[in-house]
């Protein structure tokens, strides 16, 4: 009964809040508007925006050593989680049945497990650094910890349900996913979408001045 609720009405609620919430947040950003730049340009803003969207995925020259921890743990987590969400067989089946109506070839089981291991290790290491490093302690808010812990709970409940043997485990996982989806638009998890906007703005502004970043 609980599983029916969690896979039925609560799922739809979560989806609506997620989609509408994300859209509203994005609209709200652009609604503020920005002053048109009257200075004569040195380089193409559009090209700069696209370039910076790509280049910020790696460190600035000479900065790799200072950012090594973030790079390694961060990518372990992000890439691992991406593979798990979009290429794990149970997820692909769910997407095919409940969301898109079509699916794709899922990853082989060993790749799924490897990705999950990387995701867990990356998330744990990154969150522990947030708790231990003086800079991150200074600037972290409740939102940062909540997002990390909630994501961990989603992944953990997913792991528990891996055997696909018990409805209750699947239900707990679905419930945690839905809570995350509801939390998402109101949190810093929005960076998953807004990072494109912020990188783009900065890249455009710098490129107008002739600085390729």
Partner 1 sequence: MVELVTEHDVERGKDVMRSQIDAKISAYFSSCVHCGLCAEACLFYTETGDPRYTPIYKLEPMRRLWAREKTFWGKLGARLGALKDVTEEDFARWQEIVYDSCTMCGRCSMVCPVGMDITYMLRKQREAFAASGYAPEGLQDATRRALETGSPMGVTLRTLQAQIKHVEQATGLRVPMDEQGADYMVLLSSMEVVNFPEYIESLVRIFDAAGVSWTISSNAFEATNSGIQIGSSKVAAELVRRVVDTAESLGVKYVISPECGHAYVALRWEGPNLIGRSYQFQVIHIVELLDQLRAEGRLKTEGLSEQRLTFHDPCQLVRRGGVVEQPRNLLNMLAPNFVEMDDHGVMNWCCGGGGGVSAIEGADELRLKAFNRKKRQLQELGISTMVTACANCRIVLEEGLEANEMEVEVVGLTDLLAEHLARDKD
Partner 2 sequence: MSNASTKRKRRRYRAAKRAALILICCVLIVPLIPYGLSATGSQVPNPGTDLWRAVRQRDEPANARTQAEGVDAAVLINATGEDWRQFRMDILVPIGAWILGGVFGMITLFYLLRGRIPMEGGRSGRLVPRFSVNQRVVHWFAASQVVILGVTGLVLLYGRFVLIPLLGPEGFSVTAAACKEVHNLFGPIFLLAVVLIAILFGRGNRFNAIDLKWFLKAGGLFKGMPASSGYYNGGQKSWFWLTILLGAAISVSGLILDFPVFEQSRTVTIWAHLTHSVLTVLFIAAALGHIYIGTIGMEGAAESMIQGYVDANWANEHHDLWYQEMEAAGMVDVEPNALEEVKRHDNIDFRGFGSPGSPGVDTKKG
The span of 7-15, 96-104, 109-117, 203-211 binding partner 1 (CB under 8 A) equals: 203-211
133 binds partner 2 (CB under 8 A): yes
**Piece of the chain touching partner 1 by CB under 8 A; list 6-14, 81-89, 110-118, 183-191:** 183-191
Taking CB under 8 A as the rule, does residue 125 contact partner 1? no
Q: What is the DSSP string of the chain?
A: -HHHHHHTHHHHHHHHHHHHHHHHHHHHHHHT--PPP-SPPSS-HHHHHHHHHHHTTSPPTT-TTTTHHHHHHHHHHHHHHHHHHHHSHHHHHHIIIIISS---PPPPHHHHHHHHHHHHHHHHHHHHHHHHSHHHHHH--HHHHHHHHHHHHHHHHHHHTTT---HHHHHHHHHHHHHHHHHGGGSGGGHHHHHHHHHHHHHHHHHHTT---
By the rule CB under 8 A, 47 interacts with partner 1: no
Cβ 7 to partner 1, closest distance in Å?
Answer: 26
Helices 9-31 and 167-183: crossing angle, nearest 10°?
20
One residue of 101, 105, 110, 135 binding partner 1 per CB under 8 A: 135
List all residues 6 or more positions away from 111 whose beta carbon is below 8 Å from its beta carbon.
Answer: 83, 87
Regarding 136 and contact with partner 1 (CB under 8 A), the answer is yes
What x/- string results for residues 48 through 87 when contact with partner 1 is judged by CB under 8 A?
----xx--xx-xxxxx--xx--x---x-------------
- The site that binds partner 1 (CB under 8 A) totals a number of residues, namely 61
Interface residues toward partner 1, by CB under 8 A: 25, 28-35, 37-40, 42-43, 52-53, 56-57, 59-63, 66-67, 70, 74, 130, 133-141, 143-144, 185-188, 190-191, 194-195, 197-203, 205-206, 209-211, 213
Which residues sit at the interface with partner 2, rule CB under 8 A?
69, 110, 113, 116-117, 120-121, 124-125, 128-129, 131-134, 156, 159-163, 165-166, 168-169
């Amino acid at each position: 009964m609980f599983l029916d609720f969690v896979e039925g009405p609560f799922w739809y609620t979560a989806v609506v809040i997620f989609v509408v919430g994300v859209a509203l947040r994005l609209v709200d950003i652009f609604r503020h508007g920005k002053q048109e730049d009257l200075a004569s340009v040195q380089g193409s803003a559009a090209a700069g925006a696209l370039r910076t969207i790509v280049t910020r995925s790696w460190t600035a020259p000479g900065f790799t050593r200072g950012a090594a921890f973030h790079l390694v743990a961060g990518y372990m987590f992000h890439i691992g989680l991406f593979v798990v969400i979009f290429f794990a067989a149970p997820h692909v089946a769910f997407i095919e049945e409940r969301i898109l109506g079509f699916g794709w070839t899922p990853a082989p089981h060993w790749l799924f497990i490897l990705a999950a291991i990387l995701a867990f290790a990356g998330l744990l290491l990154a969150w522990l650094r947030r708790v231990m490093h003086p800079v991150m302690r200074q600037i972290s808010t409740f939102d940062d910890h909540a997002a990390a812990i909630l994501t961990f709970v989603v992944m953990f409940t997913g792991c528990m349900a891996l055997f696909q043997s018990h409805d209750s485990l699947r239900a707990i996982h679905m419930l945690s996913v839905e809570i995350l989806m509801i939390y998402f638009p109101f949190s810093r998890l929005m960076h998953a979408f807004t990072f494109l906007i912020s990188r783009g703005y900065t890249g455009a502004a710098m490129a107008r001045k002739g600085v390729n970043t």
